[in-house]
Amino acid sequence: MEAFELLYNRHRGPLYRYILRQVGDAATANDLFQGSWEKIIKASGSYRPSAPFRAWMYRIAHNHVMDHFRRTRPVSDLPPDEIEADNPAPEKQLLDQQRSSELRKAVKQLPAEQKDALLLKLEAGLDLQTIANVTGVNRETAKSRLRYAVGKLKKALREQQTESSDD
Amino acid sequence: MTSDPRDKNSGPEFEQDLETVRSAWSSLEQTDPPELLDQAVLNTARRQLGARRRSRPLRWVGGFATAAVIVLALTIVIQQDEQSPAPALEKTNGFKLEQAAPVARKKEAKRSAAAPAVSVSDAATLTVAEEMSDSLFEPEQAADRIPEADAWIEQLLLLRATQQDEKLIQELTAFREAYPDYTLPPELRD
């Protein structure tokens, strides 16, 4: 059990954020997070060390989230209040908050596959080949999705920078 | 002119863009799961992994039975040897050795032929992982036989958590050979 706890503690944060930023609301993220771990625990007895644990774990979580999307599309367009900072902020913090908010908005607007690839890169820290393995596509497709996502986010950040320098 | 991201090289420019996004990303809050959720997951693990441990057949029974049979067989052979005259003993032993070698070889061949079948049946028992194509992971594994130490440790931890002791010992031995200076986490020390 200590071994499992160690694994859980290593991955709980990034896996939670990967799910939360996919679905946008904490209640759904909590359900999916718990469901993912239940599946991981259930499948762990037949785990073979042919795949890295992290890739194996994210593949289970990815499939679980995709199943959820298949059942519940379209996703609510409400902003994810739960992940907003709620402490009053001085000017710099306000700017950071605006930036974060813009970034979240840009991520939210990404097509599901691009968002998935981006979150697997930024939250899970997976490399391109592993992202391809986890999402069940070839490396080129994963690369293309990631490139589009990064391009759009960069553009959003640039626009936001221009706006704040105009102000 | 449209700015198609495909026009960019996947090299330095993409890496630079990724770094810009990553840096902005790091300003986002590091939201963690609520504590109650942690407890719920860990309770599930405790229940299921604990139940698996309780329902496992007692491995020592098999080992004990084999040892008992060997001791019994040796006792009989020794008793027979003591009762038989010396020339007959040599003949018997010689016969036994000659006969035993091919039998042992056959058994060994059978065992090695059975080995892949075991892993195939393992794959068939995957529950949630059934929908996952393990073969997707193969090319990467083939390209890099020795996993990175931290990733390997995580594999070992999961084997430990699920009490896959034989696989754990094999992997642990291989790990120690590949990374002799690596300090194992306490959870993996005996």
Nearest CA in chain B to A123: B25
Distance CA A51, CA A47 (A): 9
For chain B, what percent of residues have pLDDT higher than 70?
Answer: 54
Fold designation for A1-76: Rna Polymerase Sigma Factor; Chain: A (1.10.1740)
Checking if the pLDDT of B127 tops 90, the result is: no
In order, the DSSP letters of A30-55 are HHHHHHHHHHHHHHHTT--TTS-HHH
What is the pTM for the complete model shown? 0.66
Per-residue confidence band for A61, with pLDDT thresholds at 50, 70 and 90: very high
CATH code 1.10.1740.10 region(s) in chain A: 1-76
ipTM of the prediction: 0.80
- A100 contacts in B (CB within 8 Å)? 27-29
Checking if the pLDDT of B128 tops 50, the result is: no
pLDDT of the residue at B73: 83
User: What's the rounded mean pLDDT across residues A5-29?
Assistant: 94
Angstroms from A91 CA to nearest CA on chain B: 15
CATH number belonging to domain A95-167 = 1.10.10.10
Distance CA B42, CA B62 (A): 32
The 10s digit of each residue's pLDDT in A117-130 is 999 999 999 999 99
End-to-end CA distance of chain A: 55
CATH code 1.10.10.10 region(s) in chain A: 95-167
User: What's the rounded mean pLDDT across residues A158-167?
Assistant: 72
User: What's the rounded mean pLDDT across residues B158-182?
Assistant: 88
A95 contact B CB<8A? no
- Would the CB atoms of B129 and A122 count as touching at under 8 Å? no
Checking if the pLDDT of A21 tops 60, the result is: yes
| Selected residue with higher pLDDT from B62 and B79 | B79
Are A82 and B185 in contact by the 8 Å Cβ rule? The answer is: no
- A81 contacts in B (CB within 8 Å)? none
Quick one: which H or E segment has residue B61?
helix B59-83
